[in-house]
Structure 1
Amino acid sequence: MSNLPPVALLLGDESFLVDRELKAIEAASEITSPEDMNRQVFDAAESNVGEVVNSAKTLPFLGSRRLIIVKAVDKWSASQWDTLTAYLEKPNPSTTLVLIAEKIDKRRSYWKTLKKSAHIVECVKPSDSELTGWIRRISQEAGFEVGANVAQSLVLRVGPDLQLLYREILKLQAFAGDKGRVTVEDVEVLVGESRGTTVFVLCDALGMRQLGPSLKALRKLLELGEAPVKIVYMIARHFRILTKARYLKERGGRVNPGEAASSLGVPPFVARKAMDQAAKWSWDRLDRVVRELLHADYMLKSGGKEEVVEKLVIDLCT
């Protein structure tokens, strides 16, 4: 971000992307120290909008720019936004005002002002089908290339957590060196299996109705400290994908991986596996899966723990 805008809005609930954009703004402004007198941070839930505006209007002290960061601006009332809107229409050119919000009511009049006056960056987590593209783009920015199969392998081993994925991308960057690229084999050697990996292994084994591998993956997940409620959530998510895949198969005709991926909202390599697994599940059995998942959820909320998930896995495979 070479030319800093007077107002920036970081919009979305993916904290990793918000932090990444904020660091880029700080670096471009050359105001990176929390102690810098030209840097001020507000929490909108606790700060008066008038304080923010006064700070933004203040001229830099022994510097060329001020950086004002306001978190959780979605907590402000309409009247508070009215006060800020007057500033947004004529912002101080020597200040960069960074507004951070998980969501904004786009029906409000201040949204029109934001669109006109602010540099807006969407900080929304990529969908499952977009993750491999995100990995390839971030890797390219880091100075090395990864193929689609390498990105897919990374997702399988790490899971969808952007912070963890970025950490592994930096590790691969150091390994790539002058070669400028890495292979699937490099990923398998350098990237350890995580809870996310084991969840995918468990879900794939359940999708194939393989009891032994399912129980093995479940035990490993529990040993890694994964919460039973999170495991049940991921199993439920997987069976929602399989149910959609079953619908696709029954439409008739050949469904290519690209179409399946788009319909299921997952990467093509996941879509291929889902279509194969869906063939093993009748509609009657999928109806039972819903009841078994609801029962497991109820038992977990009633105080059950590991034994509830183990029974669910056994029931799903039989």
Structure 2
Amino acid sequence: MTPTELKRAIQARKIPELLFLYGEEGFYLDKAVQTIREALVAADTRDFNFSLYHGKTLQAEAVLDTARTLPVLASHRLVLIKDAQEIPAAQLEAFIPYLKDPVAETCLTFVGDKIDGRKKFFQEFKKHGALVEFKKLYENQIPAFVQEQARERQRSFTEDALALFCRRVGSNLQEVHGELGKLFDYLGAKTLVDTADVAAIVSDTRVDSIFDLTNVLGRRDAAEGLRLLGRLLDEGVAPLLILNMMVRHFRQLWKTRELVEQGVPHRDLARRVGVNPYFIDGLVRQCKSFGPRQYPVFFDIFLAADLALKSSGAHPSAVLENLVLTIAAHRDAAAGRE
């Protein structure tokens, strides 16, 4: 069963008696659990018909006793087990007989990070219940998520505001949802979000600075590059995080450069690079600042910096300053760059 199919089943009041929800996308997973609870158990009978257990400490016999107890003054009972990946093997095995003959009035729901399809428990669960995986969204799916959340609150974004918001918040949906809440509270009665609103509320100078840093390196402006690097370090951003962000950005630039040279249509670039469409114009502009043969050299430089940062004798700021100066000074002779 997919998350979409589960959503339809909940809306149709046809929730399976056995559910195992798992995956990396905690936001949608938590939302599904909340929706199931609200659909199955009324607030005024929740004390009698909702039971919560945790995988590491549960005793299967006690959980099953609850699951086999008919609901009180209601049509259904919900038995929820969180952190199901921590259930001891012997306790997990004890659920197998129940899987083959579940109580119709009880929804036994497991929630975990992952499953192990080799185990007999999951093989039986697949036969009698529904396994629902919540996969982490790709970066290029975040704008659609933001727009969906905005529509639910009767709000909308200008194109530039959406691009800035997505660049600053990243891809963690819990954080995205939280930042949207702050932004919408700030808007008051205003319904259209513009860049000034995003700039006022959503702050992530790390991402902006990395983007700016790459720009100035492409212009061979070492002095401005060192200034931007210094600002990141002064703000307390860990040196390894700065390096990782640079590596990620240059990887996107390299991939963009190769796709452009292959003649891939502009409309397909974002999907092929794996970024949201609002970033692709900036990546196309930046990728042309470096010759094709420079990218492999840069990744050798990144590797050397990574090793230096992880050694005991290297000074982090000196390592990163040398990295910035080296990239800014590098020339692609084969491409005729100066």
TM-score band, normalised by the shorter chain?
Answer: 0.7 to 0.9
Q: What amino acid is aligned across from residue 272 of structure 1 in structure 2?
A: D
Q: What amino acid is aligned across from residue 279 of structure 1 in structure 2?
A: K
Q: Distance in 2 between matches of 1:28 and 1:201?
A: 48
Instruction: Report matched runs for 1:140-155 at 5 Å.
Output: 140-155=151-166
Choose the corresponding residue for 2:80, options 56, 60, 69. 69
Q: Distance in 2 between matches of 1:189 and 1:228?
A: 27
The residue number in structure 1 matching 2:185 is 174
Q: Distance in 2 between matches of 1:148 and 1:85?
A: 52
The residue number in structure 2 matching 1:266 is 275
* Structure 2 residue 31 is matched with structure 1 residue 16: no
- Tell me the SS of whatever aligns to 1:282: coil
- Tell me the SS of whatever aligns to 2:290: coil
Instruction: Report matched runs for 1:100-179 at 5 Å.
Output: 100-106=111-117, 111=122, 114=125, 117-118=128-129, 120-175=131-186, 179=190
Q: Distance in 2 between matches of 1:107 and 1:24?
A: 30
Change (3 A) 1:234 1:117: farther
The residue number in structure 1 matching 2:6 is none
RMSD between aligned residues: 3.3
Q: Is the 8 A contact 1:132 1:148 kept in 2?
A: no
Q: What amino acid is aligned across from residue 151 of structure 1 in structure 2?
A: L
Q: Which has the larger radius of gyration?
A: 2
Choose the corresponding residue for 1:42, options 45, 50, 53. 53
Q: Which runs of 5+ in 1 are unaligned?
A: none
* Structure 2 residue 105 is matched with structure 1 residue 94: yes
Deviation string, structure 1 residues 197-224 (Cα, Å, up to 9, x no partner): 4444444544555434433333333233
Change (3 A) 1:268 1:73: same
Q: Is the 8 A contact 2:256 2:273 kept in 1?
A: yes
Q: Is the 8 A contact 2:25 2:137 kept in 1?
A: no
- What TM-score do the two structures reach when normalised by structure 2? 0.77
The residue number in structure 2 matching 1:275 is 284
Q: Distance in 1 between matches of 2:289 and 2:246?
A: 16
- Tell me the SS of whatever aligns to 1:259: helix
Choose the corresponding residue for 1:187, options 169, 183, 198. 198
Change (3 A) 1:243 1:129: same
- Tell me the SS of whatever aligns to 1:22: helix
Q: Distance in 1 between matches of 2:328 and 2:43?
A: 54
Q: Which runs of 5+ in 2 are unaligned?
A: 1-9, 330-338
Q: Which moved more, 1:147-156 or 1:40-49?
A: 40-49
CA drift of 1:135 comes to 0.8
Q: Which moved more, 1:213-222 or 1:274-283?
A: 213-222
Change (3 A) 1:149 1:29: farther
The residue number in structure 2 matching 1:250 is 261
Q: Distance in 2 between matches of 1:209 and 1:71?
A: 53
The residue number in structure 1 matching 2:299 is 290
Q: Is the 8 A contact 2:82 2:110 kept in 1?
A: yes
* Structure 2 residue 299 is matched with structure 1 residue 301: no
Change (3 A) 1:146 1:88: farther
Pairs aligned (count)? 315
- What is the aligned-residue identity percentage? 29
The residue number in structure 2 matching 1:238 is 249
Deviation string, structure 1 residues 4-45 (Cα, Å, up to 9, x no partner): 543333221233333333333344445779x94544333334
Q: Is the 8 A contact 1:154 1:187 kept in 2?
A: yes
Q: What amino acid is aligned across from residue 150 of structure 1 in structure 2?
A: A
Q: Is the 8 A contact 2:84 2:112 kept in 1?
A: yes
Q: Is the 8 A contact 2:79 2:108 kept in 1?
A: yes
Q: Distance in 2 between matches of 1:210 and 1:24?
A: 53
- Tell me the SS of whatever aligns to 1:98: strand
Q: Which moved more, 1:19-28 or 1:73-82?
A: 73-82
Q: Distance in 2 between matches of 1:177 and 1:117?
A: 48
Q: Which moved more, 1:172-181 or 1:308-317?
A: 172-181
Deviation string, structure 1 residues 163-192 (Cα, Å, up to 9, x no partner): 222122123333555554323333233333
Q: What amino acid is aligned across from residue 156 of structure 1 in structure 2?
A: R
Q: Distance in 1 between matches of 2:215 and 2:99?
A: 51
